[in-house]
Structure 1
């Protein structure tokens, strides 16, 4: 069974809102999903867990956070769409904007630093250039108009993690998902 982190819609909303606040205006949703993916990837490398816990897929414009992309399109993901819609506008043409600030209580300091670092590097670039850059990431496979799941293990191997380290990360993800389930029951 592959590693699967639990999707944290609150953290995804706070991360998206932070990017939108840094941008100061509406943003092309392609740019937002690219920066969220890159931030999750960096968090995996540094913290051995992503910020959002979302599923990753290869799409024509590079890797994408599947749940966040569905939320941007107005499609339900678990029970997250009403919460997402409270803070992030529906996509209008190709842009989204911040409706109100969700704060940042769910994000730790290191996650906030990663988001700021990603925005500083990619936030002012054309999103299509960022998408093209993500095609060079080893986990991206050309889906030819479809989508292909990206395994967390592939990303961790690219960072030089051993099979033993990857197994430990997997066990931690399983324990955290179990605890979340018990605590939220």
Structure 2
């Protein structure tokens, strides 16, 4: 997989913009990012962000994006994250530049922006704790498994596609992983 921190930060920035105060609760942001990947898979067959996803105590999480939000990524690996999202302040992350608009989110396609709009329309009114409860419900997130004392457990792309109801999810997973490998090879990764 080829993780794009700049695109991830634009995804978080989108939700910060939607709150009306240019900041979003960390836990809420993490849940909305995961739900957006899920929704984009349901709509178009692939996630917005290429990254590892894990089951954690408070539900499913996009691992690399969460690391960036927590400030656990060394500056040399910022990859454009800081252009759109400021450092975490307490329980929130905000825009790095208050003048940012959705027109500035150039890493996101129109289809991905439509997905983010749909996710905000469905879940934006919820608090972080309502989203935790929603993502813990097996009827909503069958791919989430309580990691208990392990800290985290990987959510495989195959289990996510299966949970969403993608037909031929095993074959679709293999195609996506093959495309990611080819993309990485071409970029010299």
SS class of match (1:177): helix
Q: State the TM-score, normalizing by the size of structure 1.
A: 0.87
1:85-164 matches, within 5 Å, as 85-100=82-97, 101=100, 103-136=104-137, 137-145=141-149, 146-158=151-163, 159-162=165-168, 163-164=170-171
Counterpart Cα distance in 2 of 1:82 and 1:176: 18
1:10-21 matches, within 5 Å, as 10-21=6-17
Quote the offset at 1:70 in angstroms.
Answer: 0.7
Structure 1 residue ranges without an equivalent (≥5): none
SS class of match (1:68): helix
Kept in 2: contact 1:29–1:95 (CA 8 A): yes
Q: 4+ residue stretches of structure 1 with deviation over 6 A?
A: none
Counterpart Cα distance in 1 of 2:19 and 2:94: 10
Quote the offset at 1:167 in angstroms.
Answer: 2.0
Counterpart Cα distance in 1 of 2:35 and 2:83: 24
Quote the offset at 1:87 in angstroms.
Answer: 2.4
Paired residues, number: 178
Change (3 A) 1:81 1:28: same
Write out per-residue CA displacement over residues 17-75 of structure 1, whole angstroms, 9 at most, x where no aligned residue. Answer: 11111112121110001000000111122222211112101001100011111111111
Q: State the TM-score, normalizing by the size of structure 2.
A: 0.85
Structure 2 residue ranges without an equivalent (≥5): none
Quote the offset at 1:99 in angstroms.
Answer: 1.8
Q: Is residue 2:27 matched to residue 1:30? A: yes
Counterpart Cα distance in 2 of 1:169 and 1:110: 18
Quote the offset at 1:12 in angstroms.
Answer: 0.6
Counterpart Cα distance in 1 of 2:48 and 2:75: 18
Counterpart Cα distance in 1 of 2:173 and 2:69: 31
Q: Which moved more, 1:111-120 or 1:99-108?
A: 99-108
**Structure 1 partner of 2:5:** 9
Kept in 2: contact 1:58–1:148 (CA 8 A): yes
Superposition RMSD on alpha carbons, in Å?
A: 2.0
Quote the offset at 1:78 in angstroms.
Answer: 8.9
Q: Which moved more, 1:87-96 or 1:12-21?
A: 87-96
Quote the offset at 1:119 in angstroms.
Answer: 0.9
